[in-house]
């Protein structure tokens, strides 16, 4: 009887021990960040330059000018957040803002006040013009838990752009007798804006120091074709967005 009781006690003690060993052999589960927030400072590469033109009447003849706008690289700011539907599938919304000066040059053909078909050419650089791109990105996100601390994400979706651009509407010039030359004096500018539908696609790699706090790096391509109002008639193609790369804070709850 004593042998049976001892065997029963040994069996009861062995079950929790074996369960503990099996549990210790299981791979640690990566926590699901149901809600996530990313705050990044990024650098956006230069976009596509564009040219606008306009015809005007001066001294009873047609003259014209063309303005070339250079979209240069510069810093931008991104913030995004969303929610997990499953451990690996999430949806989110991001907002990015890019604002930078736009180096601009103008060339013009100005009719002569005394002679027909003797236009004077002038050219000059224009400072102080700016371009701003504000975009809202809707994203489907595939999250790949590499470990408990390291997490990779790929994402993409549609983007909604609002582009504000300073443009040259007209110019003034100086001339003196015998009026064979003319020089650029000043420009008349205005700020125009337009909206467009585009896209975003990218990847993110994050390292979490705690279950809620970490740092990450991101690379994404955003873009849209924007038809901006022209100084003349119609519109001019001034595409928005480009490659963005940067890093920042990661939060999950």
The answer to whether the CB of 138 falls within 8 A of the CB of 159 is yes
pLDDT at 155 over 80: yes
The answer to whether the CB of 119 falls within 8 A of the CB of 109 is yes
**Is residue 1 in some structural domain?**
no
Q: 181 CB contacts (<8 Å, ≥6 apart)?
A: 120, 175
What band does 100 get if pLDDT is binned at 50, 70 and 90? Answer: very high
- 3 state DSSP class of 154: strand
**Is residue 25 in some structural domain?**
no
The answer to whether the CB of 137 falls within 8 A of the CB of 159 is yes
What band does 110 get if pLDDT is binned at 50, 70 and 90? Answer: very high
Q: What's CA 115's distance to the chain center, in Å?
A: 51
**Is residue 2 in some structural domain?**
no
Q: What is the pLDDT of residue 8?
A: 42
**Is residue 15 in some structural domain?**
no
CA–CA separation, 56 vs 62, rounded Å? Answer: 6
pLDDT digits (tens, 9 = 90+) for 179-231: 999 999 999 999 999 999 999 999 999 999 998 999 999 999 999 999 999 98
**Is residue 107 in some structural domain?**
yes
Instruction: Using alpha carbons only, give the angle 122, 70, 189 rounded to the nearest 5 degrees.
Output: 60
- Which two structure tokens, joined as six digits, stand for 226? 């924007």
**Is residue 10 in some structural domain?**
no
Q: What is the pLDDT of residue 48?
A: 87
pLDDT digits (tens, 9 = 90+) for 45-90: 988 899 999 999 999 999 999 999 999 999 999 999 999 999 899 9
CA–CA separation, 154 vs 94, rounded Å? Answer: 14
DSSP alpha helix (H) spans, the chain? 2-25
**What CATH code is carried by the domain that includes residue 179?**
2.40.160.20
- Which two structure tokens, joined as six digits, stand for 184? 């650029």
The answer to whether the CB of 151 falls within 8 A of the CB of 84 is no
**Is residue 61 in some structural domain?**
yes
Torsion of CA 245, 249, 250, 253, to 10 degrees: -150
Domain assignment of residue 85, given as a range? 34-252
CA–CA separation, 32 vs 84, rounded Å? Answer: 8
What is the count of structural domains for the chain? 1
**Is residue 76 in some structural domain?**
yes
């Amino acid at each position: 009887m004593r042998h049976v009781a001892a065997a029963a006690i040994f069996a009861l003690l062995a079950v929790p021990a074996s369960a503990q060993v099996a549990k210790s052999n299981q791979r640690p589960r990566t926590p699901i960040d149901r809600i996530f927030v990313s705050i990044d400072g990024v650098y956006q590469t230069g976009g596509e330059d564009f040219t606008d033109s306009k015809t005007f009447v001066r001294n009873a003849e047609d003259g014209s000018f063309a303005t070339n706008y250079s979209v240069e690289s510069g810093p931008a700011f991104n913030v995004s957040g969303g929610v997990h539907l499953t451990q690996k599938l999430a949806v989110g919304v991001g907002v990015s803002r890019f604002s930078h000066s736009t180096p601009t040059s103008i060339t013009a053909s100005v009719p002569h006040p005394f002679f027909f078909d003797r236009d004077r050419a002038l050219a000059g650089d224009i400072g102080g013009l700016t371009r701003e791109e504000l975009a809202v990105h809707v994203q489907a996100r595939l999250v790949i838990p590499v470990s408990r601390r390291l997490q990779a994400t790929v994402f993409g979706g549609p983007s909604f752009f609002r582009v504000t651009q300073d443009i040259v509407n007209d110019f003034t010039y100086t001339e003196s007798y015998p009026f064979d030359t003319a020089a650029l004096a000043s420009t008349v500018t205005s700020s125009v804006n337009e909206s467009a539908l585009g896209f975003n696609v990218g990847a993110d790699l994050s390292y979490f120091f705690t279950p809620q706090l970490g740092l990450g790096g991101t690379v994404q391509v955003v873009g849209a074709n924007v038809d901006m109002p022209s100084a003349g008639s119609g519109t001019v193609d001034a595409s928005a967005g480009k490659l963005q790369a940067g890093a920042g804070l990661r939060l999950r709850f």
